[in-house]
Amino acid sequence: MMELNGIEREMSMSYLNRYMKRYRIPFFAALAFLTLEALCDLIQPAVMSRVVDVGIRNRDMSYVLHMGFIMLGITGVGAIGAVGRNILSSVVSQHFAADLRMDLYKKIQTLSYAAARRFDTGSLVTRLTNDVTQLVNFANGLMRIFAKAPILCAGSIIMAILLDPPAGLVLVAVVPCVAVIILIEIRRGYPLFSRVQSAVDALNEKIRTYLQTIRVVKAFNRFKEEKGRFEEKNTGLCKAQAHAMKTMALFSPSVLMVVNLGIVVVLWMGGLRVNSGALEVGKVIAFLNYMTQISFALTTVFMVFVRFVRARASAERVGEVMNAEDTMKEPVSPISLKKKTSLRFSHVSFSYKTGGEDRALKDISFSCDAGQTVGILGSTGSGKSTLVNLIPRFYDSTAGSIEVCGVDIQQANTEELRKNVAMVPQKSTLFSGTILENLRWGDQNATLEQVQEASNIAQAHEFISNLPNGYETYLGQGGVNLSGGQKQRLAIARALLRHPRIFILDDCTSAVDALTEKKIRAGLSALPGAPICIVIAQRIASVMQANRILAMEDGKVVGSGTHQELLKSCMTYRDICASQSGRVGA
Ligand SMILES: Nc1ncnc2c1ncn2[C@@H]1O[C@H](COP(=O)(O)OP(=O)(O)OP(=O)(O)O)[C@@H](O)[C@H]1O
Ligand SMILES: [Mg+2]
């Protein structure tokens, strides 16, 4: 993770102001309860010194009892404060957590492909869960104990000076020493705990990819290598954590040492001055009490600090997502798509890297009208998927323009555009749920007949009907209980249910047998509403009938025309043809 400079850091945190504003009142109410509790803690030693110096010294039992009741009353008030801040802090922090997660979730949802790609999935998961928890822990702690430390420190000093100014000076000397130690430790600890957080991130990412590729790992017997890589990340985290803890190990003891030295000085001074009659015993007891309160408060500062460092690193990482700028801008006044279905690419170039030299698409121009089919053919990596991904504006072209239904897609409303363009991606993604639920992603309100009709065209109806539960069959995560070809056909049916005006099939009949594919093709050519079909395929037979075929090579369209035209004019196309009819090398 790159180091942010001061100003950027401020900017990246500014999103937290929103929550500060929202929870200002209960937050300060919690602090008020906390202050009440701390004040009660501060008064107790003073009252006790009176019990010793007045009540016990004069053997005045009624005075002792009287003061005892007062102490009891103060304890009661303190308990009310403690209960109040406990309730408030839990309520506020849990609401804060829920809000933050929701906002983060919404933000991720709105990010464009290009912006979302900057964060890998593993790190987004950590940000949504662990990082939010860290922030909330800190906020919760702030309302519970952390704010108590400064109140107790300042209060103890004031009370001590009021009781006896010379002895109070000891506290005045101790507290700044400890403050300096804390400052130094914060400076040293911050980068260390940031590193721990990055190591957690790396480990999570490793686990995620491992679980995703577990089948391949088993198939290739790569367990040893995978174990090695896991071990590397695991030790990385272990080392980072151990290093951070080792560095911080001096912290608590050094704070305690300074405070205990203070106690020794108080006892020594107190002893001398009690002997000379300048100080009363009860006051010395009260001082010791204040010292222990301070040492308790200051050691909780260590917890504050660790949580603060973590929360700060987490806040930055959450902020990176919250402040992620989308380069893809929605038009201010979008133009609605025209009635007439059409698609036009003019001199479109595209690069995955901003300002990158190696372009994935180079100067692509073609157009087609309602009811036409465009076939795209080309070797793997030639840019076919990239080309169709530009149509629903998953990415913005680097140069040139794309018109859908007469409107430049950068001028159109993205939601409307995506409603009219349906894509069956190369890798079909299904969700846990029944087949029917999955298909209704295409159209929430589709009737069962409509769903069946779409499944019919996609040649999925038959196999679905043969399943024991038919359309109510439950699919595991990602549709694990279906074959590749079955998944592809469901994905096609799902896209068909959207009744798109532009229908894109990205090599999604690769796992379907040739005869079934032919039937699907026949069904697609008879779709109502004359949509444009864009069919990416590996097999020439899949696109032979298309009105226009684009032959792609290395991001360029090297041939464009019908099957017959290309056979005559395009070398690449002829080569592909030859290889598929088995004449290669003949
Ligand atoms: N998300 C991405 N980030 C960076 N480069 C990418 C990305 N996706 C694809 N590419 C690159 O763009 C080029 C074109 O890829 P594309 O997926 O469009 O090929 P394709 O023609 O669809 O191949 P296939 O037939 O194997 O699906 C490839 O060189 C690939 O490395
Ligand atoms: Mg592809």
Nearest ligand to the CA of 423 is 2
Domains of the chain with CATH codes = 12-322 (1.20.1560.10), 342-580 (3.40.50.300)
521-553 confidence digits (pLDDT tens): 888 888 888 899 999 988 888 888 899 999 998
pLDDT of residue 206: 87
For residue 323, report the distance from its CA to the centre of ligand 1, in Å: 28
For residue 99, report the distance from its CA to the centre of ligand 1, in Å: 37
Best probe residue, ligand 1, of 350, 384, 504 (max atoms within 8 Å of C-beta): 384
DSSP state of 94: H
Nearest ligand to the CA of 381 is 1
Task: Tell me how far apart the alpha carbons of residues 461 and 493 are, in angstroms, rounded to a whole number.
Answer: 9
Q: Is the pLDDT of residue 302 over 70?
A: no
pLDDT of residue 7: 53
Q: Ligand 1 pocket, 359 CB below 6 A?
A: no
Task: Supply φ then ψ for residue 502, to 5 degrees.
Answer: -125, 125
pLDDT band at 356 (very low <50, low <70, confident <90, very high): low
Task: Tell me how far apart the alpha carbons of residues 310 and 240 are, in angstroms, rounded to a whole number.
Answer: 13
Q: Closest Cα partner for 279 from 291, 288, 268, 271? A: 271
- Mean pLDDT of the region 406-419: 91
> Could you give the percent of the chain with pLDDT greater than 70?
96
Alpha-carbon distance values, 357 to 99, 349, 353 (Å)? 42, 11, 8
pLDDT of residue 208: 78
Q: Is 345 helix (H, G, I), strand (E, B) or coil?
A: strand
Q: Ligand 1 pocket, 384 CB below 6 A?
A: yes
Which two tokens mark 299? 């050691």
Nearest CA to ligand 1 atom 28: 381
Q: Closest Cα partner for 548 from 529, 526, 570, 523? A: 570
314-345 confidence digits (pLDDT tens): 888 899 888 887 777 788 888 888 889 999 99
Q: Ligand 1 pocket, 378 CB below 6 A?
A: yes
H/E stretch holding 421 reads: strand 421-424
Which two tokens mark 443? 């159209």
> How would you label 107-141 residue by residue, b for 16+ Cβ within 10 Å and e otherwise?
bbeebbeebbeebeebbbbbbbebbbbbbbbbbbb
Nearest CA to ligand 1 atom 3: 352
415 burial type by CB count under 10 A (0-12 exposed, 13-18 middle, 19+ buried) = exposed
pLDDT band at 1 (very low <50, low <70, confident <90, very high): very low
Ligand 1 atom closest to residue 383's alpha carbon, by position in its atom list: 18
Q: Closest Cα partner for 429 from 377, 498, 484, 360? A: 484
Partner residues linked to 504 by β-bridges: 423, 534
pLDDT of residue 233: 93
- Mean pLDDT of the region 244-248: 86
Q: What is the DSSP string of 41-89?
A: HHHHHHHHHHIIIIIITTT-HHHHHHHHHHHHHHHHHHHHHHHHHHHHH
Nearest CA to ligand 1 atom 25: 380
For residue 367, report the distance from its CA to the centre of ligand 1, in Å: 22
Of 161-170, 180-189, 576-585, which gets the smallest average pLDDT? 576-585
Q: Is the pLDDT of residue 583 over 70?
A: no
Q: Which stretches within 393-434 are classed as H helix?
A: 414-420
Mean pLDDT of the chain: 86
Q: Ligand 1 pocket, 426 CB below 6 A?
A: yes
H/E stretch holding 277 reads: none
Task: Tell me how far apart the alpha carbons of residues 404 and 420 are, in angstroms, rounded to a whole number.
Answer: 9
Of 294-308, 387-401, 562-576, which gets the smallest average pLDDT? 294-308
Nearest CA to ligand 1 atom 14: 383
For residue 376, report the distance from its CA to the centre of ligand 1, in Å: 14
Nearest ligand to the CA of 538 is 1
For residue 555, report the distance from its CA to the centre of ligand 2, in Å: 12
Q: Is 366 helix (H, G, I), strand (E, B) or coil?
A: strand
145-177 confidence digits (pLDDT tens): 777 888 888 888 888 888 888 888 888 888 888
For residue 141, report the distance from its CA to the centre of ligand 2, in Å: 50
261 burial type by CB count under 10 A (0-12 exposed, 13-18 middle, 19+ buried) = middle
Ligand 1 atom closest to residue 352's alpha carbon, by position in its atom list: 4
Nearest CA to ligand 1 atom 8: 386
Q: Closest Cα partner for 406 from 499, 336, 503, 349? A: 336
Which two tokens mark 39? 């004040």
Contacts of 386 (CB under 8 A, 6+ apart): 350, 352, 360, 361, 395, 555
pLDDT of residue 582: 61
Q: Is the pLDDT of residue 355 over 70?
A: no
pLDDT band at 243 (very low <50, low <70, confident <90, very high): very high
For residue 428, report the distance from its CA to the centre of ligand 2, in Å: 12
Contacts of 73 (CB under 8 A, 6+ apart): none
pLDDT band at 453 (very low <50, low <70, confident <90, very high): very high
Task: Tell me how far apart the alpha carbons of residues 442 and 105 are, in angstroms, rounded to a whole number.
Answer: 22
72 burial type by CB count under 10 A (0-12 exposed, 13-18 middle, 19+ buried) = exposed
Alpha-carbon distance values, 400 to 347, 349, 364, 390, 408 (Å)? 5, 6, 8, 12, 10
For residue 66, report the distance from its CA to the centre of ligand 2, in Å: 86
Q: Is the pLDDT of residue 90 over 80?
A: yes
165-212 and 281-322 are packed helices; what angle lies between their axes, rounded to 10 degrees? 30
Alpha-carbon distance values, 568 to 142, 556, 572, 574 (Å)? 76, 19, 11, 8
Q: Ligand 1 pocket, 389 CB below 6 A?
A: no
| Cβ–Cβ < 8 Å for 440, 431 | no
> Could you give the percent of the chain with pLDDT greater than 90?
36
Of 254-258, 421-425, 479-483, 499-503, which gets the smallest average pLDDT? 479-483
Q: Closest Cα partner for 138 from 303, 366, 299, 343? A: 303
Ligand 1 atom closest to residue 379's alpha carbon, by position in its atom list: 25
Ligand 1 atom closest to residue 384's alpha carbon, by position in its atom list: 21
pLDDT of residue 585: 40
Q: Closest Cα partner for 203 from 242, 225, 239, 236? A: 236
Contacts of 266 (CB under 8 A, 6+ apart): 167, 170, 284, 287, 288, 291
For residue 398, report the distance from its CA to the centre of ligand 1, in Å: 16
Nearest ligand to the CA of 358 is 1
pLDDT of residue 298: 75
Q: Ligand 1 pocket, 289 CB below 6 A?
A: no
pLDDT of residue 2: 43
Partner residues linked to 503 by β-bridges: 422, 533
Task: Tell me how far apart the alpha carbons of residues 420 and 443 are, in angstroms, rounded to a whole number.
Answer: 12
